[in-house]
Structure 1
Amino acid sequence: MPRTPPPTPFGSILDVPGIEVGHHQRRGRGWETGTTVLSAPHGATPGVDVRGGGPGTRETDALEPHNLVDTIHAICLTGGSAYGLSAADGVMEVLESRQLGVPVTGGVVPVVPTAVIFDLGRGGVFGNRPDASFGARATRNASPTAHRWGSVGAGTGARAAVLQGGIGTASAVVDTPTGAHLTVGAVAVVNAHGSVVDPATGRLWEAPARTRPRGPELRALRNALETPADAARGRRLNTTIGVVATDAAMTKAEAGKLASVAHNGLARAVRPSHSLFDGDTVFALATGEQQITADATRFEVPATYPGALNALFAAAADVFALACTHAILSATSLGAAAYADLCPTVAAANGVPPPTHR
């Protein structure tokens, strides 16, 4: 199926109707960490696929297709390693105040699937990590309008091997045989053990533009990639996490498959991925704003429903790969050198503004 390019080089998960994003972070005075919340105020069908050998997650079992919960209202991505899982408590508090969650006698119980990255001590103080207040503030900051990306929210303390990591986004529109125009978007927090850069050329593996660094930019990048021993040890404590979302109506099983296929995009953008040192986790959200096909028999018409699903899955892998790339291009140098600061010509060719304008 043809995929319509987004209005910007990457697009945004906010192009998916029904999705909102909020960040909260702290930098300086021993801090370099943050939290990002993806909110679906009207609810969404969830899915998840965990593939890394060292994941840090919460409420992922609830998203299995054979389990009860079929609608959630938020996903939390956060720094802080296992300690950071407490950020979800703040998300729950805000959702409860809005009466969003699983209805039970006397109130609601919000289900907030959460995944973490390891960024402990990157600001200089090991004990400075997200707590419930981070989750609450990120939830209250959530909106459907444009956001900053890169070294914000859960991407604040991220690293991509020896480069500055970050949080990025992308989207695409899938045109189905039945005339539906389905939007799929992704958010990725790249804190990867693997490399995002082709060492032979200095080009990001999945950068949309074919431009690659040359001359002084290439030399600066290669100098940064000369990994000191302490940085190499730090690469054992990494992870890439994210969310892929669509406005299509899906079952939990289909949403789980959407999350699963998005890992293909991660594997293209970060090499290697899914190692024993990674906690690679991808969530999925289907807001149900559009039907994939009007045909009620679904699989009796292979050219429509399954074909549209396959196109949506393929687009999910593409946008997740682009979101990983956008995360690296949008990052600014904090505790490590940012790719866009080393190679501004390449960043500009890919539609990312200079650091001072982000």
Structure 2
Amino acid sequence: MGGVSGESSGPGSATPGSITDVPGVRVGQVTRRGGGWLTGVTVVLPPPGTVAGVDVRGGGPGTHETDALDPRTLVPTADAVVLTGGSAYGLVTAHGVQRWCAEHGRGFRVGPGEREVVPIVPAAAVFDLGRGGVFGNHPTEAMGHEAAAAAASPAGARVERGTVGAGTGAVVGRRFKGGVGTASVRVGDAVVGAIAVVNAFGVPVAPGAAGGGRVPGEPLGSGPALNTTLACVATDAALDPAEVSRTATAAHDGLARALDPVHTLSDGDTVFALATGAVPLPAARPERVAELVRVQAAAAEAVRLAVLDAVASAEPVEVGGQLLPRWPG
């Protein structure tokens, strides 16, 4: 498969790359802003039969169906991945995505009928409750269904960035605007893409910056330390369930390179990984290990770029007279 090369020069470039550069992977997003709302949902819809894994590192996670992605369990695949606002309340969006998948015959087949399936739809949430002004305005089951339908539409090939989807109410450093970002990296014949929802206690680490990413003299903001950064990595490399799970683990390095601090007690940092299997890897063990290392290194880099892209793409938001400005770095 050869070496690793970036698809972009990072945030702000004309062609930053996207998780949808992985053939067959699509993204749908629903955004609610105004009238007490500042939240949304992001759905990653892979091709049927995509192998999935996850690694949860944060001390305050809000997740759904992550145990189903353990490589020791029955079903090795996932039918969609949901990234949502609304903290634990927002996890209901996975039910809407599951309903959409069932309507289209996508899922683990349990009977002869076209819709006799159980869709596997893992999800994770960020905390944005009350940021739009009304605590009870959080993503709904219907919004999950809408996002899944959007992912399956022609528009699903293009990923919106910034203050959209699950990143609509996101913040970084407790006082600057976070959001959704995406990027991709090529590994020989394969592509590794990532999408990130950045709602972090920490702040961005600029490339090559000494002493972390904070502006000199700028402390972390005040306010509740309830945060999370979510990411989903996808590749067209053919990985088995254990290899996909290890790729999710490796991809967390991208969070650590892009944010300072990360994986804290008050973050719910979670990374999902998907492998569509279109590009075979060598069967011989030494050669396969070498290619896996390249894919996993690319996963970390794609996540790093996606996190920085999210922060660079975020638009400032004013709610109740309070401004959430862009990160000044």
TM-score (norm 2): 0.89
The structural deviation recorded for 1:195 is: 1.4
C-alpha distance in 1 between matches for 2:210 and 2:96: 41
Check conservation: 2:18, 2:159, Cα contact below 8 A.
Answer: no
**Closer/same/farther in 2, CA of residues 314 and 201 from structure 1, 3 Å limit:** closer
Correspondence for 1:102: 108
The answer to whether structure 1 residue 188 and structure 2 residue 189 are counterparts is: no
Correspondence for 2:5: 4
User: Could you say what secondary structure the match of 2:128 adopts?
Assistant: coil
Deviations 1:175-224 (A, max 9, x none): 2xxxxx110010110000111146x979995xxxxxxxxxxxx9xx779x
The aligned amino acid for 1:251 is D
C-alpha distance in 1 between matches for 2:205 and 2:280: 38
Check conservation: 1:18, 1:42, Cα contact below 8 A.
Answer: no
The answer to whether structure 1 residue 125 and structure 2 residue 170 are counterparts is: no
Runs of 4+ aligned residues of structure 1 deviating over 4 Å after TM superposition are 200-205
User: Could you say what secondary structure the match of 1:257 adopts?
Assistant: helix
User: Could you say what secondary structure the match of 2:233 adopts?
Assistant: strand
The structural deviation recorded for 1:135 is: 0.4
1:301-320 to structure 2, matched below 5 A, reads 302=286, 304-320=287-303
The answer to whether structure 1 residue 245 and structure 2 residue 234 are counterparts is: yes
1:1-358 to structure 2, matched below 5 A, reads 1-6=2-7, 8-105=14-111, 107-142=116-151, 143-161=155-173, 162-175=175-188, 181-197=189-205, 205=213, 225=218, 231-234=221-224, 236-293=225-282, 295=283, 298-299=284-285, 302=286, 304-335=287-318, 336-339=324-327, 342=328
The structural deviation recorded for 1:232 is: 2.1
C-alpha distance in 2 between matches for 1:274 and 1:222: 23
The aligned amino acid for 2:96 is G
The structural deviation recorded for 1:42 is: 2.4
C-alpha distance in 2 between matches for 1:138 and 1:146: 13
Deviations 1:47-70 (A, max 9, x none): 000000000000000000100111
Check conservation: 2:42, 2:147, Cα contact below 8 A.
Answer: yes
The aligned amino acid for 2:223 is R
The structural deviation recorded for 1:233 is: 3.0
Aligned-residue sequence identity (percent) comes to 47
**Closer/same/farther in 2, CA of residues 127 and 253 from structure 1, 3 Å limit:** same
The aligned amino acid for 1:253 is A
The structural deviation recorded for 1:273 is: 0.5
C-alpha distance in 1 between matches for 2:295 and 2:100: 32
Determine which structure has the larger helix proportion and give its number: 1
| Structure whose CA Rg is larger | 1
The structural deviation recorded for 1:41 is: 3.4
The structural deviation recorded for 1:261 is: 0.2
C-alpha distance in 1 between matches for 2:35 and 2:195: 28
The structural deviation recorded for 1:144 is: 4.4
RMSD between aligned residues? 2.1
TM-score (norm 1): 0.82
The structural deviation recorded for 1:163 is: 1.1
* Residue segments in structure 1 that go unaligned for 5+ positions in a row: 176-180, 206-217, 344-358
C-alpha distance in 1 between matches for 2:36 and 2:187: 44
Check conservation: 1:204, 1:325, Cα contact below 8 A.
Answer: no
